Structure 1
């Protein structure tokens, strides 16, 4: 139901459902369960799509922490939340923080998916954007070319 609301651009309704899911997951499984991490990640998605980038960063950061504890630091779901955290930081013009998140996600995705996967290329592009915004043009060029 939350995904349906999100698909229709009904962000407030989607957020309400995802927050209810989060409460239920916390109550059922405790704070450090991977399902709590997924619920936090989904809340981050809603905030990103609605333009609440600071809230998206907060939810995504929490998702990363929970997913790392529950699944291990090299799990693909950790990379997904790190990439989302990076986008949130990028939207807030926090380019150094975005770069850190994107690079960590890239390390995981290269390990899990290989160097030629499209998701690896997308992260390299995001790294290039972050470096460009930091006026690190040589590094940006390298990242864009590798993407």
Structure 2
């Protein structure tokens, strides 16, 4: 549902859903699980889309640290999140 709201530009509706997804994943899987990293990346992307770069950056960084440790530097998910962070860095 959060992705649908995001795609419709309904960011205020999407944000609590992304935050809830992150909280559930952290509680169920632990803070260092790759699925938590995906939730972090999604929330970071929402902030990035809204120009909230200062909020997005630490979320991308934490997400990247998790997937690099869990999946390795060459995993497709790691590459995607690293690319998101690099795009943000060029914006700043």
Query: What TM-score comes out, normalization by structure 2 length?
Result: 0.88
Q: 2:29 aligns with which of 58, 71, 80?
A: 71
Q: 2:56 aligns with which of 70, 73, 98?
A: 98
- 2:65 is matched with 107
> Is the 1:44–1:59 Cα contact (8 Å) retained in structure 2?
yes
User: Does residue 55 of structure 1 match 2:13?
Assistant: yes
CA distance in 1, matches of 2:25, 2:76: 23
- 1:80 is matched with 38
Mapping of residues 131-142 of structure 1, within 5 Å: 131-134=89-92
- 1:129 is matched with 87
Structure 1 segments unaligned to the other structure (5+ residues) = 1-42, 135-147
Q: How large is the Cα RMSD of the aligned pairs? A: 1.3
> Is the 1:76–1:108 Cα contact (8 Å) retained in structure 2?
yes
- In the TM superposition, residue 87 of structure 1 has moved relative to its aligned partner by 0.7
Q: Which has the larger radius of gyration?
A: 1
Secondary structure of 1:73's match? Answer: coil
Query: What TM-score comes out, normalization by structure 1 length?
Result: 0.58
- Please identify runs of 4+ aligned residues in structure 1 that moved more than 6 A: none
Q: Which has the higher contact order (CA 8 A, sep 6+)?
A: 2
